[in-house]
Amino acid sequence: MIYFLLSCSVIALMVITAEGQIQVFQKPRFYGVKTGRTVMIYCVASDPSLPARVEWLKADNYLDTQKTLKPNERTVMMEKTSKRNASITIKKVVIDDSGVYFCKLNETQGPGTELRVSRHGDPQAVMNRSRVKDVIIFLQGFLLILCIVVPLVQFFKLEKKEDADYEEPKDDHTYEGLEIEHCGDVYEEINAVAAQDADADADAVWEVESPDQE
């Protein structure tokens, strides 16, 4: 009887020790999907024959606070059996489903599986956005060129205008090209004036007051 009790104690101790040393693995370690897809994460124990209690937790990142997950219409949790690994299935994923999912078997937590959900993009819409960006870049470049060229053109025009305003006037020959008979009395008047000036100069030069004249 004593040996029987001792054997039972040893077996129970081995079970407890094995349960405490269980190792947990998760597959896959990373998921990157578009919205609307269905993902499945597996939780594998180092000893598949051992019974285990399964719990799933979620955090925004590996070091953030973890929250316990509960099954709902989109989240299905499968318990571990001797013939099947534990798993969690998330249907029609949305952006808010992104995060890190941890599997816990008998208080032993797995390394975690990261899930990143991105929006489903329409190729035609992406192409249209790309074309719009190209047009905006072209317009920006064109406006930049105008901002540089227009002031330069205005500057050169103003400089040429100032040069034209300060150009030296040419000699104005009033009587150039006129025949002598077309000049009328102009030359006669000039000759008369010249003669008067000559007489005046002659009188001024030769008229000397004598010392005797007082």
The domain ranges of the chain are 22-118, 121-164
Query: Could you tell me which of 100, 90, 132 has the C-alpha nearest to residue 30?
Result: 100
For residue 161, the surrounding DSSP H or E stretch is: helix 123-165
Per-residue pLDDT of the chain (214 residues; tens, 9 = 90+): 554 444 555 454 454 444 446 799 999 999 999 999 999 999 998 887 777 889 999 999 999 999 999 999 999 999 888 788 999 999 999 999 999 999 999 889 999 999 999 987 666 766 777 788 888 998 999 898 989 988 888 888 887 776 666 555 555 555 555 555 555 555 555 555 556 655 555 554 445 455 555 4
- pLDDT value, residue 99: 96
Query: Could you tell me which of 89, 94, 86 has the C-alpha nearest to residue 116?
Result: 94
- pLDDT value, residue 188: 56
For residue 200, the surrounding DSSP H or E stretch is: helix 186-206
For residue 153, the surrounding DSSP H or E stretch is: helix 123-165
- Measured CA to CA, the distance from residue 134 to residue 121 in angstroms comes to 19
- pLDDT value, residue 49: 79
* DSSP codes joined into one string, 62-75: TTSPPEE----SSE
Query: Could you tell me which of 30, 45, 99, 25 has the C-alpha nearest to residue 69?
Result: 99
For residue 195, the surrounding DSSP H or E stretch is: helix 186-206
Query: Could you tell me which of 192, 185, 23, 33 has the C-alpha nearest to residue 105?
Result: 23
Q: Spell 143-174 as b/e; 16+ CB within 10 A means b.
A: eeeeeeeeeeeeeeeeeeeeeeeeeeeeeeee
DSSP 48: T
- pLDDT value, residue 150: 86
Distance of CA 47 to the CA centre of its chain: 52
Question: Under CATH, what is the fold of the domain 22-118?
Answer: Immunoglobulin-like (2.60.40)
Radius of gyration of the chain (CA): 56
- pLDDT value, residue 73: 93
- pLDDT value, residue 152: 86
- Measured CA to CA, the distance from residue 118 to residue 134 in angstroms comes to 25
- pLDDT value, residue 121: 67
